[in-house]
Amino acid sequence: MKNFYFPLFLCFCLITKVQASGFDVKTSSIIDQPAIEVLGDYNNNWYVIGFEKPNHPDKPARFYILKYAAGFPTAKSSPVYPPFGEKTDYLKAAIVNGKISIFYARCERVVERPDMVDSRDGYKQIPKIMRQDYDPTTLLPLGEPATIFDEAIEHFAASGIVLAQSDDKSKTAILIKHYFRQQKFKVLLIDNTKGPVFERSFEIKAEKDLINFKRMVVGNDGQMLLEAKTQEDPLHLDPKGKKPLKYYFFSINNKDADPPMLALAAAVGGNQMSSQPAIAVLNSGEFVISYDHYANNHSQLLKGISVNKYKPDFTLAGTQDLVPDDNLIAKAAAYQKTKEKGFEYLQTQLILPLEGGNFMLVAEYRRSTENKDKVTGAVTNVLDRHYLVAYRIDNEMALKATAFIDKKQTTHTIGYAFSVQAYCKGNDVYLLHNEDCESDDEHGLNLLNTFLPASGAAPTTQKIVHTSEDFFTSMEHIYPGSNNRILFTEEKVVDFSVEARELKLLEVRIR
């Protein structure tokens, strides 16, 4: 990889074009940045933030804004100006209200910076959060930085931010997370056409629990759902031992009323809740919260999935308990390690909102084991991401269709992401996932699409592209764009003295 000090991006990128049946596939040239953050699509262009290393202990990272035309025929790069200083720290970026908005933390004294960049989640103490906007055409700054949070005014310290955008990209929600020992947080809602809609700080009324916000989702109508979970206070540990894990959910819209709150204990109905519930806001404004449950906290056998739909005030609107089906269990038998009835190592991966209040829940076989080399003694992780189970549920919480998608995906040495992601056109669903290439079980992957029609007909799977021997499609995130385009990141491990990996982008257009 070239040195970070490179000439401004070439006007033309090298392009690889592959046409699979029903798909156009193109890749960019290698991105000459050590790390990137994808912002997504705006006006038929992809936007990316390139930077050195976030939260560098000695100095702030240097940043570039990268702009790619759809299909990568052209690219443009511009350094972030004014650059961040020694009293600042980059937080996040997004395309908000027609501008590229970069959010960063700022303190008044250099000695305060270590507290501001504490790597422990919830333990940062950020006194001020700023937003600098940039023109998406010229990539140049627009006006002066604006303050979106000041602890002197809000009377609590921030520990970071969470950004969420609605499926139709019409709304952007911003959560200002609190320092873990304080009991306030702040929420901002922006209409990406009209501008700011809502801004308010709230008191946390979660009994005596200390909580840490983890996620936020926002609907097309601006309805927000925030998820937090309990955490220990290291300065005041409970002498009776660790408290049971509890999740808190907050419902916020553009009204001034205190937000309704829902608390769920980790042990529900005698079963063990998984460590990460799945959440979504439907286009009806209602919430879906689901959790996997097991016989106990040592079991890897999924007993069922509890799916609950709530109105914005957390009134229960419907439930659906998904239990192991004998037909599906028979199809998953090849991956089963025990003779017990159920799905072993199956975990809910996502909830995809569809039209008319419908949605799809997708679960994936996910297992990580240690592999010790008999000669060297070196220990590596073996990552398995095998079959999928997709449940289509309608607005009345009735189960309309179930699909089993068989796939095999194992790697021994490279810890890339191999999790399924989903994209929809109306109520047609495209599940995008990887599968091992039979001719190369370590370095070859096929990027696949499984099409699930709205009618509930049987799924069909086809290969989109075979990734090369040294590049791998990263499936932790996908970035939907206009004109049925989806962006992925690709990366490879390199053995250079300074750099550890190289990056490029992959665009798939559904025809």
User: For the chain, which residues make up each domain, given as ranges?
Assistant: 1-47+481-511, 319-479
Q: What is the pLDDT of residue 12?
A: 38
Has residue 320 got a pLDDT over 70? yes
Q: What is the pLDDT of residue 413?
A: 57
Q: What is the pLDDT of residue 272?
A: 57
- How many CB atoms sit inside 10 A of residue 82's CB? 10
- Helix, strand, coil shares of the chain as percentages rounded to 5? 5, 55, 40
Are 135 and 97 a contacting pair, CB within 8 Å? Answer: no
Q: What is the mean pLDDT of residues 182-209?
A: 91
Tell me the one-letter amino acid at 269. G
Half-sphere exposure of 239 (CA within 13 A, CB side): 0
pLDDT digits (tens, 9 = 90+) for 255-277: 767 899 999 886 654 455 666 89
Q: What span, in angstroms and rounded, lies between the C-alpha atoms of 160 and 487?
A: 26
Residue of higher predicted confidence among 402 and 419? 402
Q: Which helix (H) or strand (E) holds 508?
A: strand 501-510
Q: What is the mean pLDDT of residues 159-184?
A: 94
pLDDT digits (tens, 9 = 90+) for 425-460: 999 999 999 887 665 545 567 889 999 999 989 999
Nearest to 443 by CA among 412, 407, 418: 412
Has residue 227 got a pLDDT over 60? yes
Token pair, residue 475, equals 């499936």
Residue of higher predicted confidence among 338 and 311? 311
Q: If phi over 0 gives left and psi between -120 and 50 gives alpha, with beta otherwise, what is residue 123?
A: alpha
Q: What is the mean pLDDT of residues 3-29?
A: 57
Are 156 and 178 a contacting pair, CB within 8 Å? Answer: yes
Are 75 and 66 a contacting pair, CB within 8 Å? Answer: yes
DSSP line for 270-293: TEEEPSS-EEEE-TTS-EEEEEEE
pLDDT digits (tens, 9 = 90+) for 60-95: 778 999 999 999 999 999 999 877 888 999 999 999
Has residue 2 got a pLDDT over 60? no
Specify the 3-state DSSP secondary structure of 24: strand
In DSSP terms, which residues pair with 488 in a beta bridge? 506
Contacts (Cβ under 8 Å, ≥6 apart) of 421: 350, 431, 432, 433, 475, 477, 478
Nearest to 432 by CA among 502, 487, 496, 359: 487
Q: Which residue has the tokens 């419908």?
A: 358
Q: What is the pLDDT of residue 382?
A: 82
Q: What span, in angstroms and rounded, lies between the C-alpha atoms of 425 and 407?
A: 23
Q: What is the pLDDT of residue 101?
A: 97
pTM for this predicted structure: 0.89
Q: What is the pLDDT of residue 274?
A: 66
Q: What is the mean pLDDT of residues 377-400?
A: 90
Q: How confident is the model at residue 171 (pLDDT cuts 50, 70, 90)?
A: very high
Q: Which residue has the tokens 């991006």?
A: 9
Q: What is the pLDDT of residue 6?
A: 33
Specify the 3-state DSSP secondary structure of 338: coil
What are the Cα distances from residue 402, in Å, to 324, 345, 455? 11, 18, 12
Nearest to 507 by CA among 492, 488, 494: 488
Q: How confident is the model at residue 249 (pLDDT cuts 50, 70, 90)?
A: very high
Laid out side by side, the sheet with 472-480 consists of 16-20, 23-27, 501-510, 485-493, 472-480
